Structure 1
């Protein structure tokens, strides 16, 4: 059967439905006659593009009047729904009050282990270790000259850089796992947790101080260079990359130790801890900035040990998938 004959047959069957009117109509009358017939053929299309019926319009206008009559206080109390139109789950604190944060949940919080050794240092032995160590040490000089004793501003820059390596490493391990159809030994999750933990450090210090425009520019420049350099470095030698981060975290521990010394000496005001820090680290309600710096320093010490451990694994001729990651190490 030719396409012309098939079209004629289809027209004979559908014609009475599409053109049910006995007399020709035009304008609104024609649309009102043809719409029900066409809707039977293309229901989804008509439902999405057809004009609203008069009673639907009246209902919409009534709803609009009701919304406009609502007070500003009532409008603010409307629940926020998700993209799928489902009301968001209400989270509460242990004391029964509403959970105020969207960036992390109550089960993401923890109590930092401050008993970890803060003086621990991995002595560089091989040439790659020495290169990583002195590269990090060389970065400390300009940072000390630039920030002096402005520890909060120094911490802001430090955290924007420290959160990059675990994200890059976790991403590369994730892609490797997909390519090779193999497990990662838990290291993908461990590195993602480290990256999120470093980001929460940044969010906390944003409550303490705000960066100036030149500090923001410095962060953009440093991050743009460091992301690409670490990406290439991790592809070339993961053991060198993790060792570099281990020494970077050692410097972070040193920086926060100096921060604590100035807080204890009274050179920096020991202000109340930000609310986000109290909830994230489960600190007491009367916690101070000193308490926040103490738990952040402990986090950095755990990151230090985890990255040195990851580098040691590679030096032993193993891969990360063959050795389990220190789960929950932060």
Structure 2
């Protein structure tokens, strides 16, 4: 989990550019809603977090509000995509080749992230209103977009998860730099300990952030990979068994990591 790193998949097609543009627009709105402000040099990796200006640092409260907003949005795509593929399977009276289970698992995992953070911080009426508005717009928008172009939607989610990895990486950097003293003393809530089966001695807030970042890195990989496949006919490689298990291939855990996703010829 310590080796999980920030990564970006370059846009290659019109579909990719559309997804990336939508993500950047959404990122602007998320930054505005959560009051996000971070030292640019630190964000680019050009300066250690310890040297960041205090006026640009994020507080524990701001980070938590960003987590809540992010996870409340991130839990939508998997459920919408899983629901639509479920209905599609019923209409066609054919199997879905394992996609539905992975998508629903993803939405459940994101919801657990949200429930974990809600044990730590209680959002105020303004944040709840922002989440309500964002979810209403995002759910319906994603629903329509998935009907039109599932590939673009999976690429969008891949880019969204890239941002999630960046968010948690920067939080860990701030924590290690001593800028988040409350987090440094905090232990993971019981819901997190049980969900991730966190061992004794590894239940700090930093450990929790590592677990969640690892989850997000896997979602990043999964959606970029799904975006590379034939949406109607290809099987889900994360629900498949490979003849040669010794060679690197898509897996549910982080044994074989491919941040930019697996290309179609590698995944099948």
- Interval of TM-score (by shorter of Structure 1 and Structure 2): 0.7 to 0.9
CA gap of 1:121–1:261, structure 2 versus 1, over 3 A, is same
1:195 paired to 2:107:
yes
* Contact 1:246-1:304 at 8 Å conserved across structures: yes
Q: CA deviation at 1:204?
A: 0.5
Q: CA deviation at 1:263?
A: 1.3
Aligned twin of 1:206: 118
Q: CA deviation at 1:323?
A: 2.0
Matched ranges for 1:276-287 at <5 A? 276-286=191-201, 287=203
- Paired positions, count: 213
For 2:190 and 2:98, locate their aligned partners in 1 and report how far apart those are by CA, in whole Å: 31
* Contact 2:70-2:164 at 8 Å conserved across structures: yes
For 1:136 and 1:323, locate their aligned partners in 2 and report how far apart those are by CA, in whole Å: 27
> Which ranges of structure 2 fall in alignment gaps of 5 or more residues?
37-57, 240-250, 254-268
For 2:16 and 2:219, locate their aligned partners in 1 and report how far apart those are by CA, in whole Å: 17
Match of 1:160 among 37, 60, 72: 72
* Contact 2:116-2:189 at 8 Å conserved across structures: yes
Relative to the length of structure 2, the TM-score reads 0.75
For 2:105 and 2:234, locate their aligned partners in 1 and report how far apart those are by CA, in whole Å: 20
SS in 1 for 2:228: helix
Coordinate RMSD, CA, aligned = 1.6
* Contact 2:226-2:236 at 8 Å conserved across structures: no
Matched ranges for 1:112-127 at <5 A? 114=1, 117-127=4-14
For 2:116 and 2:196, locate their aligned partners in 1 and report how far apart those are by CA, in whole Å: 11
Match of 2:165 among 227, 231, 253: 253
Q: CA deviation at 1:324?
A: 2.5
SS in 1 for 2:227: helix
Which structure would you say has the larger Rg?
1
* Contact 1:185-1:320 at 8 Å conserved across structures: no
For 1:217 and 1:325, locate their aligned partners in 2 and report how far apart those are by CA, in whole Å: 38
For 1:303 and 1:155, locate their aligned partners in 2 and report how far apart those are by CA, in whole Å: 16
Match of 1:137 among 24, 28, 33: 24
CA gap of 1:321–1:276, structure 2 versus 1, over 3 A, is farther
> Which ranges of structure 1 fall in alignment gaps of 5 or more residues?
1-113
Q: CA deviation at 1:143?
A: 2.8
Q: CA deviation at 1:321?
A: 4.3
Matched ranges for 1:35-184 at <5 A? 114=1, 117-145=4-32, 146-148=34-36, 149=58, 150-184=62-96
For 2:120 and 2:193, locate their aligned partners in 1 and report how far apart those are by CA, in whole Å: 13
Match of 1:263 among 170, 175, 181: 175
For 1:281 and 1:147, locate their aligned partners in 2 and report how far apart those are by CA, in whole Å: 30
Q: CA deviation at 1:207?
A: 1.2
SS in 2 for 1:326: helix
Aligned twin of 1:291: 207
Match of 1:329 among 244, 248, 252: 252
After superposition, the C-alpha distances for 1:109-156 in whole angstroms (9 at most, x for unaligned) are xxxxx2664233211011221121122123323433433321111010
* Contact 1:190-1:325 at 8 Å conserved across structures: no
For 1:212 and 1:158, locate their aligned partners in 2 and report how far apart those are by CA, in whole Å: 15
- With 285-294 and 143-152 compared, the bigger mean Cα shift is at 143-152
For 1:225 and 1:192, locate their aligned partners in 2 and report how far apart those are by CA, in whole Å: 20
Relative to the length of structure 1, the TM-score reads 0.62
